[in-house]
Structure 1
């Protein structure tokens, strides 16, 4: 990340959080059936998600809080943290 290198002398850390498949009003339509089961796409995603569930917004909080806390991550810059239940560690969809 060039921007992290550029901002480092100013003591500004630049990081990103990459959420995986999160269930919300928008994604529910293609990940789930009207009765709450998995759609074909939802089943495909689950087959590549080792943790066996979709994420929720709250799942991002631990990562974001860690990145915001200088006492825990002051030497962390230039990274993207996947919060995806292991999806990226599996073969793609």
Structure 2
């Protein structure tokens, strides 16, 4: 819905930037949340489609990209990744950190640089991309 509302306004202005939020689950689906992974893969695919559609149909000055955050410690997942009493990592939390080359969970501020870049004129020739902000999780093969 936001893409539809803002897309219409950007089409009238013939310029603008849409920044969607996907997930690294779109790049590497996780075993316990297939519906979430599929939904985020759809966001990534839609981002690419909309980037082409807006540039071709309305203006090449309308860009559409997405961020794909990795694991960020939030209230939603805190007790899946850390023990409620001790604060130590759970088995799942340890596995994630072992597969994250930067060896930590993301912090909200870690999203600011990529967000600023994708919304700024510095990325004026960038459209249809999904930028992982995941500490290298999506690049790590485990080997």
Q: Is the shorter-chain TM-score for this pair beyond 0.5, marking a shared fold?
A: yes
CA distance in 2, matches of 1:45, 1:51: 11
Question: What is the Cα deviation at residue 36 of structure 1?
Answer: 1.3
Post-superposition, which runs of at least 4 consecutive aligned residues in structure 1 deviate over 6 A?
none
CA distance in 2, matches of 1:46, 1:2: 33
Aligned ranges for residues 3-82 of structure 1 at < 5 Å? 3-9=50-56, 10=59, 11-34=61-84, 35-70=86-121, 72-82=122-132
Q: Which has the higher contact order (CA 8 A, sep 6+)?
A: 1
TM-score w.r.t. the length of structure 2 is 0.61
Gaps of 5+ in 2: 1-47
Question: What is the Cα deviation at residue 91 of structure 1?
Answer: 2.7
Give the superposed CA RMSD.
Answer: 1.1
Aligned length: 91
Question: What is the Cα deviation at residue 8 of structure 1?
Answer: 1.1
Aligned residue for 1:25, secondary structure, equals coil
